[in-house]
Amino acid sequence: MTKCPICNGKIEYKSEMTTYTYKKHSIEIAQSGEYCMECKEAFLSQKDLKSTKLQIANFKREVDHFLTTDELKRIRKKLQITQQDASQIFGGGIRAFHKYETAEVTQSKPLDILFRLIDSNKISFDDIKRVAI
């Protein structure tokens, strides 16, 4: 796109700082996309939106007091289990942990609590495995 369909102004592909607000909390993110130099309208492709998806998802998780994607992955790796192993032990389907760790889906609150308890050594992972399998 070289001309804005709204005002016929010049379009440039660039990154702009954008404020994203969720539940009265805000974050500034660098959002790539096509921007009109005249009316300042943004035109974001699926690729542009995907580039900030993880950052926005983790921001929402922090606001909602959930583990972030990196925290989930860290705990799973600390337990020395694959995503598939985690899905079998904790449920949620064969691709559940892939979806949690790529921000496609947010984990349930009970799973989040369980992971926090395991990570802080309040509950033994061996005990969880004995009950789950």
Residue 45 lies in a domain: yes
- Three-state secondary structure call for residue 29: strand
Per-residue pLDDT for 127 more than 80?
A: yes
22, amino acid identity: Y
Q: Encode pLDDT of 15-53 as tens digits.
A: 999 999 999 999 999 999 999 999 999 999 999 999 999
pTM (two decimals): 0.83
Residue type for position 2: T
pLDDT of amino acid 125 = 95
Token pair listed for 116: 């926090």
In-domain check, residue 95: yes
Strand intervals (E) in 37-132: 42-43
Q: Is residue 1 part of a domain?
A: no
To 10 degrees, what angle do helices 69-78 and 109-119 make?
Answer: 50
The domain of 52 spans 11-63
Verify that 93 and 52 share a domain, yes or no: no
